[in-house]
Structures are given as C-alpha cells and as structure tokens.
Amino acid sequence: DAGVIQSPRHEVTEMGQEVTLRCKPISGHNSLFWYRQTMMRGLELLIYFNNNVPIDDSGMPEDRFSAKMPNASFSTLKIQPSEPRDSAVYFCASSLKENYGYTFGSGTRLTVV
C-alpha cells in the first residue's frame, strides 16, 4: 500500500498565480480530508469529502479556495489567485468509515512570493 500520495511536495509560486494541489487517497478509503498547517493556527480542516461528495467546507478560507473529488481515487485543492498568506503546508488525509484514524500524506509545502 503506497499510502496517501500528494503532489507536488513543494510549490513556489508568485502572488496572483493559480495553484493546484493533488491527492490520491488510499484505495478503499471513502473519506478524504484537506488540512492546512501553519504556525499560528496549527492543523486546520479545510474541507472533507465522503464518497466523493463534499460534506463540510466551512473551513475553506474564502472563495479563492476550491476543492474537487471527481472520483474515489483523486482530489484537487485549487487556490486562485494565490496570496502570500496562503503559504503553509497542505495535507491530504483519508480514512475508512469504520476506522477513525486518518492516514495523512506527506504534505505539500506551498510558498507564495
């Protein structure tokens, strides 16, 4: 099992550019989560999906952020336009309904200059 796979590992972009982060959850897991980690706020839940359907997106900071899960094996988190305050590590995690422990990916470190 390859675990939760995120790409890219690092992204440096200029303010105003569009950024797309990608996630492949563990096969068979039906819940997928996007978290953001910053020094000030720790690990914040941005959005989560159950069976590819967005369930709670109340953590999405603003309209510049959007997330999709077109199928059970792929999700994207898009920021358009990006701003320096979006700089953080973005984690994707997946879980089984019966298993309340998440498996996290290694994260994408985003730097917006």
Partner 1 sequence: DQQVKQNSPSLSVQEGRISILNCDYTNSMFDYFLWYKKYPAEGPTFLISISSIKDKNEDGRFTVFLNKSAKHLSLHIVPSQPGDSAVYFCAASARSGGSNYKLTFGKGTLLTVNP
Per CB under 8 A, contacts with partner 1 among 1-20 are 4
Q: Is 48 in the site for partner 1 (CB under 8 A)?
A: yes
| Residue from the set 12, 15, 55, 113 that interacts with partner 1 by CB under 8 A | 55
Which of 57/73 has CB closer to partner 1?
Answer: 57
Per CB under 8 A, contacts with partner 1 among 94-113 are 95, 97, 100-107
Please report, for residues 10, 84, 87, 103, the alpha-carbon distance to residue 13 in angstroms, rounded to integers and kept in the order given: 10, 9, 10, 28
Beta-sheet strands, E only, within 1-107: 5-7, 10-13, 19-24, 31-38, 42-50, 53-56, 65-71, 74-79, 88-95, 103-104
| Residue from the set 1, 28, 41, 71 that interacts with partner 1 by CB under 8 A | 41
d(CA 22, CA 76): 5
Contact residues for partner 1 (CB under 8 A)? 4, 31, 33, 35, 41-45, 48, 50, 55-56, 91, 93, 95, 97, 100-107
